[in-house]
Amino acid sequence: MFTKMTKSKHTFKIITFSLTLLILLGLITSIIASESSVADDNNEEDDVKDFEELLALDEEEEAAEDSQVKSAEAEVLTKAQRIVPELNMENYKRVVFEGNEFVLVLGYAPWCFRSAELMPRFAEAANVLNKMGNPIVLAKIDAERHPKAASVLGISGFPTLLLFVNGSSQAYTGGFSTEEMVLWARKKTGMPVIRLNSVPEAEDFLSKNRMFIIGLFEKFEV
């Protein structure tokens, strides 16, 4: 009886001990596992952070490049717009009818999308023609703000391009890219495109003149 008791007590102890061990082991493993998963989470978070920082850097660089390009463009534009006088009631007669042999007038409206599209090309054409030493003046007029001057000039829609030769107007028949406006103006002013008949000639010309626009034409009528 006694031995049986001790034996069962002994077995009980062993079982309890084993159980405790098992529970401890389980606890330890679960702690280790949770720690490693916390570590993983941290790593993942770090990775995401790093990636986001990289993206942000890229965006910053792009924004910097963008703003550089934009400021360069803006510089060219303001420079070009300075040589495109804005006509108004006070000056339009002097500019168009008195002072200049050739005036190309752009009638625009501030709200007009096509005017806004044409304006920078017009300004750039003025810039190119000016650098070429062409006598033509490119001027613009806000036809909505100065309706009377616009109607005297014969501007009725937006955008309108009109050429004034010694004060009398001609319809504009050229294209609407910078190059086409330059080409048309050169033809009208009797200073047509300088023809380059070979590649070496063109290279020589380019090395001396950096701001010219070169077009390749199959057929050319002057």
Ligand X SMILES: *[C@@H]1O[C@H](CO)[C@@H](O)[C@H](O)[C@H]1NC(C)=O
Residues binding ligand X: number (CB under 6 A): 3
State the nearest-atom distance from the C-beta of 203 to ligand X, in Å. Answer: 34
Cα separation, 32 vs 41, in Å, equals: 14
State the nearest-atom distance from the C-beta of 212 to ligand X, in Å. Answer: 24
CA-based nearest residue to 184, from 102, 72, 83: 102
Which residue reads 């098992």 in tokens? 22
State the nearest-atom distance from the C-beta of 176 to ligand X, in Å. Answer: 24
Cα separation, 107 vs 96, in Å, equals: 13
Position 168 contacts ligand X (CB under 6 A): no
Task: Output 150 or 185, the one with its CB closest to ligand X.
Answer: 185
Strand partners, 164: 103, 169
Position 207 contacts ligand X (CB under 6 A): no
Position 166 contacts ligand X (CB under 6 A): yes
Per CB under 6 A, the list member of 77, 165, 191, 213 interacting with ligand X is 165
Per-residue interface string for the shown chain with ligand X, residues 50-89, x marking contact by CB under 6 A: ----------------------------------------
Ramachandran bin of 167, using left for φ above 0, alpha for ψ from -120 to 50, beta for the remaining angles: left
- Are 160 and 87 in contact by the 8 Å Cβ rule? The answer is no
Position 101 contacts ligand X (CB under 6 A): yes
Cα separation, 140 vs 118, in Å, equals: 11
Binding site for ligand X (CB under 6 A): 101, 165-166
